[in-house]
Amino acid sequence: MARARSGRGRNIKCSGGGNPALQIGKPFVFGLVAALVVSMAFVMLFALLFVVMKSIVSSAVIPLSVVSLMLGCFAGGWICGSVSRQRGLFYGLAIGLTVFLGAWIIGIAMDEAAFSFAVIVKLILLLLAGGCGGWLGSNRVRRKRR
């Protein structure tokens, strides 16, 4: 199948063929895996920090978990935007929403409040982090290979 170059250096298919589910799914899966890996890495880093400090402030656990989820959403959005090179904001918001839904369902299963002001703040923060990461990932300047 012949390929043509678009103005921004992207490969696009001339015939318009291709599986749209793969075009949407590949960046989303890569971004979601990256978001989960980065989030878990920061959770482990914060847990190590608590062990080293030997004094755990219980009020710092929830904000640090939200920070780790935000960093994961940002990284996942960045990967999504970088892989797709288009619609980065959409992919980043989708990553943020998916991570939020996962955390919300786990929170409900652990008998937390199903809907509160803190849940709305967490949703807004995760959507903001994912959307910013996706937008920046899709709009970053790429160096030309020689």
Domain boundaries along the sequence of the chain: 33-46+61-135
Helix axes 20-53, 88-109, angle to 10 degrees: 50
- Cα distances from 113 to residues 1, 53, 67, 97, 145, in angstroms, run 54, 30, 20, 18, 52
Residue 39's pLDDT is 93
Residue 128's pLDDT is 94
Query: Between vectors from CA 34 to CA 31 and to CA 36, what angle results, nearest 5°?
Result: 110
Residues of the chain with pLDDT under 50: 1, 12-16
